[in-house]
Amino acid sequence: MSRRSIRKKKNRFSKFIVALIILLNILFTGAVLYVFLKTGSEPMTLVGCWFAFTTGELWMLSSIKKSKVKKEGEDYEN
């Protein structure tokens, strides 16, 4: 397998993770709105923790991607 096809597979995985997190955030928001409709109170701590978690996951994914791109750039220079 060539480096290019391996890179495409890894790129698809990160795109899948980003799409999954966006979908989960939409589902979570819908569930919170439903709970708010039924109970009349918002689970503020849960909402804050959920979005902090998903933001952290996306931040770590982007930092991994940046470090790999930087490493590939250094490999091409040498």
Distances, alpha carbon 76 to alpha carbons 6, 34, 67, 70, 73, in Å:
17, 52, 14, 10, 5
pTM: 0.74
Which residue in 13, 1, 23 sits closest to 68, CA to CA?
A: 13
Q: What is the pLDDT of residues 13-56, one digit of tens each?
A: 888 999 999 999 999 999 999 999 999 998 999 999 999 999 99
11 alpha-carbon distance from chain centroid: 13
Identity of residue 21 = I
Band (pLDDT 50/70/90 cuts) for residue 66 is confident
Where along the chain do its domains lie?
3-77
